[in-house]
Amino acid sequence: MDAGVALAWALPFGVSLAAVGSAFGLGKAVSAAMEAMGRQPEAAGKIQTGMIIGCAFIEALTIYALLTVILLMGKVPAPGVKETAMLIDTVRAWMG
């Protein structure tokens, strides 16, 4: 496997890992904020402000990962005639 193929496989996995990590982080942040607001309703404004700022930072990291993937997609070489023919033969073999 050459570097171009490895990059082509790694990019979708990388952005999906970033999205899953962001989802877990946002879920934990919002859950903790809601619990804190339930325990101390008079501080809800300050808690909500902190939660929104934290969520913005978490989302920014996900967007950075997406932009990195978009930039690296230009480095993935286009398949040549030989690779395309091999791919077509492989798909035909899978289909029966």
Residue-by-residue DSSP string for the chain: --HHHHHHHHHHHHHHHHHHHHHHHHHHHHHHHHHHHHH-GGGHHHHHHHHHHHHHHHHHHHHHHHHHHHHHHTTSPPP-HHHHHHHHHHHHHHH-
Query: Which CATH number belongs to the domain containing residue 47 in this structure?
Result: 1.20.20.10
State the total domains in the chain. Answer: 1
Q: What's the pLDDT band for 1 if we cut at 50, 70, 90?
A: low
**Residue with token string 């050459």:** 2
Q: What does the block give as tokens for 28? A: 């934990």
Whether residue 79 has pLDDT greater than 70:
no
Q: Which residues lie below 8 Å from residue 91, measured CB to CB, with a gap of 6+?
A: none
Percent of residues, the chain, with pLDDT higher than 70: 95
pLDDT value at 84 more than 80: no
Q: Which residue has the higher pLDDT, 60 or 82?
A: 60
Q: Domain range spanning residue 69?
A: 3-95
Give the pLDDT score at 8.
83
Q: What pLDDT is stored for residue 44 in this prediction?
A: 94
Window from 22-31, 64-73, 79-88 with minimum mean pLDDT: 79-88
Average pLDDT over residues 69-77: 82
